[in-house]
Amino acid sequence: MIEQDAPPGGQVRFGPFTYFPAQQLLAEDGTAVNLGSRARAILFVLLEHHGEVVTKAQLIQRVWPETFVEEANLRVHIAALRRALGDGQDGRRYIVNISGRGYSFVFPVEREDAPPSREKPPGPSPVPSNLPPALPRLIGRAATVQYVASLLREQRFVSLVGPGGIGKSTVAIAVAHESARGFSDGICFVDLSALSDPQLVPAAVAAALGVGLLTEAPMQSLIAATRSRRRLLLLDSCEHVIDAVSTLAEELFAKGGEGLHILATTREPLRVRGERIHRLSSLDAPPASERLTSAEALEYPAVQLFVERAAATFNGFRLIDSEAPVVADLCRRLDGIALAIEIAAGRVESLGVAGLASRLDDRFRLQLQGRRTALRRHQTLSTLLDWSYMLLPPFEQLVLRQLAILAGNFTVDDAMAIVADDGATDEKVVNALANLVEKSLIAADVHGSQARYRLLDMTRAYAALKLAESGKLELLRRRHAEIFRDTLDRAALAWAVQPAPEWTRDHRHLIDNARAALEWAFSPGGDAEIGVALTLGTVPLWFQLQLIAEAHGQVRMALARIGSSHCDAVQMRLQAALAWSLMQIRGQVEETRVAWQRTLDLAESLDDTDYQLRALWGLWSYRLNRSQFHEALALAHHFADVAARHSDLNDSHIGHRMIGYILHLLGRQTEARQHIERMVNGYVVPVTGDQIIRFVFEQKVLARCFLARILWLQGSFDAAMAEVDDIVAVAEAADDRLSLCQVLVQAACPVALFADDMPRARRFITRLVDESARDGIEFWQVWGQCFAGVMAVREGSLPTGIKHLGDALGRLRSIAYGVYYSVFLAEYAQALAKANELERANTCLTEALTRSEENEERWFVPELRRLSGEFALLANGPDAADEAERHLTQALEMAREQQALFWEIKAAISLARLWQTQGRAAEAEALLSPLIHRCVSDGDQPVVREAREVLGAMARGLSA
């Protein structure tokens, strides 16, 4: 933000505009105007010196203090400001270029004495969106925008169809802005023009939706992310990947839910179910007439666009009567194609209206004949752009065709780096770039802290043909790959010091060029060495953008190309990336373990502590999820030993978390709590991406999950619930879905169900189901289904709960996830018992006990033993009471051994009830009373209230 004093007099009004100095905001007729920070700063300075000439040097000094910039940057932002103001339209002039001196704001202004704060400036709609800014005014398309917006509301799926350059993207963006308030979950803009591989279409859509593709079936994740949402998906420039887009759009429309609306721009219809086609017509131009006046001509949108664009690039241009028929003829000969008109108008300064008309003969006109084949699209592109290309100076031609090697957005630094020519200085490249922006051959977005540029898809395709004809295509492809290899290396350095959200904001635009460079590097004519470096450099982007499936495929390709003789350090990093991606998309399969083991072997041979720790954590996670707890404990201790040799205390704290978690599952709650509290009290949550990626999930939040569970088991009920509420709030505030799902699964849902707190449980389980549906990850969805089944049983919907739990347990078995399986199996057994299916219930309970004993997952065994006693009483066999007492006594002893007061109270309640029926009330009272006294501070918890009720019932029976 540029700091400056407000001009005297508060708000400044000129024409339909109001400028609010305190907020640095421009409004037109009460609506905020999209302006970048530099353009706003320029406007501020010009208004401050209204009527005076401000030199270019003064403007640069004020707008870019203490920063060296080229004059061309100033010209780009002046042009953007003029377009926003409609400078030159209807004869209004705001900013005049005084040749050789500078710029002056010449339109009359009114300054208001009231301080700016008395009038609330307009603001944009608070709907989440990654939409590009809309044009300040959309000439000749207002009715179209309203109609398409209405059509989109009613039909939900609309394709804007028309030839290149007619304005499909501009209209679509305007429709999206017009419709924004109707989409409470936001608008997702997907620019497909940068993609060369149709297989990347799902990844591009996922990135715009903010969805991680963590599986090899991307449609499931995309459908899950759009279901139950009110959202607009804008698919821009579909034609070159039309088959992939058609399939994706059709399936999303059919399965993504009624709240999903799709707007596509394409040169030909997608031809899928549900699509409503709107063909975009050309801008109207005046009929031929030698007597046409400028006023009459300006009633037509094609002429309005021509005049506005010419005025923005040629100071002082006004349409006069003598030139009105010529301009009208130009617009007709250009068939009202918006881009062609803009390009033509941009040449008025150098050729004049008459000269422009003389150059526009039939061979430069667009050929727009019916349906276009691929060949016709290229022909149309050539006839449009050949004309503009031939008018460029040779160096601008060179810059345009070489910039075609860049995919998606690029910066001025990228442009300077990519241009390969003996006479190409940075200054010449920057000036050429500015000129190409002014001539509408390159689009500029100056709304961020750094200007970004891109070639429109048709311009880029044309320039790429010219690049191929120049004989420098392969040279430029290699140069491009080398540049972005180095750029990604620099990004990796920033990854180590910059907070992850800031790093993502600054570097996410690199993904398109990273993909293009990788495509070349692993092609037959590419360079695998560069490809491997690019793969490693792109890992942080894939991680931050949650493009896990894409990462998995590229890492596999890199490993296949390097062979076993390659540098061990590179192999180690690639194996770690492979293992990390496998964990996310396939889970803890054998292939995941093998990749982590290879990483560990290489890290140990290189004495690389960082990657030893990563690999040990991965192998520990594998053993944990396979319920191999003693092997996992050994790996946790190994991790702690390696971490102790490292200078980062955080790693030692993570070792304590790993040890503590396993001890908790083994039933050693007091030891587990000591390790986990040590971690929670000492661990510092990392903020930089390179630290976050090492162990995937936020480690302190996970540690607190198990601390909450241990607190509950040990009888600190209120403290456990407070811990749960806080860690849920922390995870929600961090906007980290994976960590939030972990919190809900590992602590929030279990503790709420332990407490029989159904309002909390319903809130947490509903949130888990919703969050897991967003990414379509089966792992989280299975947990959500299990907890939802338990909740249904607890709330009285027995048939529904039994069905949900039975199906979910089958899915848990299929993904070989053992942790917590016994708990769900016990819940299923209790549900079956309630449904009078005692034989099936006992079978489930026996399975749970057998698994727990085989795995030594002892933490839940006291509850399983208690349920065995309860089921024995239900069976009512000849020795039911003796069998029940044996099981309940074992449950009580194990709970005391584990120092798990919660299990002890539950077992004591069951045993006390049994003894009461046997006339042993005194023994029952002696068992329960001490336990109740230990829970004085947590007396409102249901399990404590139940113990009191049992004790009270016995007391009433004795007195009677």
**Number of other residues whose CB lies within 10 A of the CB of residue 897:** 13
636 is written with which tokens?
Answer: 């946790």
Number of domains in the chain: 5
106, 623, 731, 738 from 780: Cα distances, Å:
62, 19, 16, 9
Residue at a domain's end among 227, 261, 279:
279
Q: Are residues 383 and 429 in the same domain?
A: no
Most confident of 130-134, 164-168, 914-918: 914-918
Higher pLDDT, 423 or 944: 944
Q: Has residue 339 got a pLDDT over 90?
A: no
Q: Has residue 787 got a pLDDT over 80?
A: yes
Q: Are residues 850 and 926 in the same domain?
A: yes
Q: Are residues 163 and 185 in the same domain?
A: yes
667 is written with which tokens?
Answer: 């039933």
Where residue 134 falls among pLDDT bands split at 50, 70, 90?
Answer: confident
Cα 330 to Cα 353: distance, rounded to the nearest angstrom: 9
Q: For the segment 170-183, what is each residue's pLDDT rounded down to a tens digit?
A: 899 999 999 998 99
Q: For the segment 50-59, what is each residue's pLDDT rounded down to a tens digit?
A: 888 898 888 8
Assigned domain for 817 exists: yes
What sign results for the dihedral spanned by CA atoms 103, 108, 113, 114?
negative
Higher pLDDT, 422 or 392: 392
Assigned domain for 631 exists: no
- Report which residue type is found at 606: L
Q: Output the pLDDT for position 1.
A: 30
Cα 466 to Cα 450: distance, rounded to the nearest angstrom: 29
- Report which residue type is found at 384: L
Q: Are residues 45 and 146 in the same domain?
A: no
Assigned domain for 647 exists: no
Assigned domain for 232 exists: yes
Where residue 259 falls among pLDDT bands split at 50, 70, 90?
Answer: very high
Q: Are residues 797 and 942 in the same domain?
A: yes
407, 505, 531, 894 from 544: Cα distances, Å:
20, 10, 20, 45
DSSP 161: E
Mean pLDDT of all residues in 461-465:
84
Percentage of residues in the chain with pLDDT exceeding 70? 90
Residue at a domain's end among 258, 279, 300:
279
The radius of gyration of the chain's CA atoms, rounded to the nearest angstrom, is: 34
Q: Are residues 22 and 63 in the same domain?
A: yes
Q: Has residue 219 got a pLDDT over 80?
A: yes
241 in Cβ contact with 211 (< 8 Å): no
Q: Output the pLDDT for position 215.
A: 65
Where residue 620 falls among pLDDT bands split at 50, 70, 90?
Answer: very high
463 in Cβ contact with 400 (< 8 Å): yes
Q: Output the pLDDT for position 710.
A: 97
Assigned domain for 535 exists: no
3-state secondary structure of 813: helix
Where residue 360 falls among pLDDT bands split at 50, 70, 90?
Answer: low
321 in Cβ contact with 293 (< 8 Å): yes
Q: Output the pLDDT for position 960.
A: 38
Q: Output the pLDDT for position 467.
A: 92
Mean pLDDT of all residues in 408-423:
87
Q: Output the pLDDT for position 520.
A: 95
Q: Output the pLDDT for position 827.
A: 95
Q: Has residue 22 got a pLDDT over 80?
A: no
Cα 546 to Cα 99: distance, rounded to the nearest angstrom: 51
Q: Has residue 284 got a pLDDT over 50?
A: yes
Percentage of residues in the chain with pLDDT exceeding 90? 46
Higher pLDDT, 772 or 726: 726
Give the residue carrying structure tokens 């290879």.
598
Q: Are residues 287 and 207 in the same domain?
A: no
Cα 348 to Cα 332: distance, rounded to the nearest angstrom: 17
Q: For the segment 371-400, what is each residue's pLDDT rounded down to a tens digit?
A: 232 233 333 445 557 767 887 899 999 999
CATH of the domain at 18: 1.10.10.10
pTM (2 d.p.): 0.77
Q: Are residues 930 and 791 in the same domain?
A: yes
Residue at a domain's end among 237, 259, 279:
279
CATH of the domain at 952: 1.25.40.10
Where residue 908 falls among pLDDT bands split at 50, 70, 90?
Answer: very high
Q: Output the pLDDT for position 118.
A: 41
Assigned domain for 562 exists: no
The CA-CA-CA angle for residues 54, 57, 60, to 5°, reads 95
Q: Are residues 262 and 294 in the same domain?
A: no
Q: Has residue 487 got a pLDDT over 60?
A: yes
- Which residues form the domain of 465? 392-404+417-470
Q: Has residue 879 got a pLDDT over 50?
A: yes
- For residue 828, the Cα-to-chain-centroid distance in whole angstroms is 37
Q: Are residues 203 and 166 in the same domain?
A: yes
DSSP 3-36: --PPPTTS-EEETTEEEETTTTEEEETTEE----
Cα 407 to Cα 508: distance, rounded to the nearest angstrom: 13
Assigned domain for 597 exists: no
Assigned domain for 954 exists: yes
Q: At what angle do helices 374-391 and 348-359 cross, to 10 degrees?
A: 130
Mean pLDDT of all residues in 72-95:
79
Q: Output the pLDDT for position 680.
A: 94
Give the residue carrying structure tokens 């042993």.
920
Q: In this structure, what is the dihedral angle of CA atoms 800, 805, 810, 812, given to the nearest 10 degrees? A: 140
Q: Has residue 123 got a pLDDT over 50?
A: no
Q: Are residues 794 and 868 in the same domain?
A: yes
Q: Are residues 259 and 377 in the same domain?
A: no
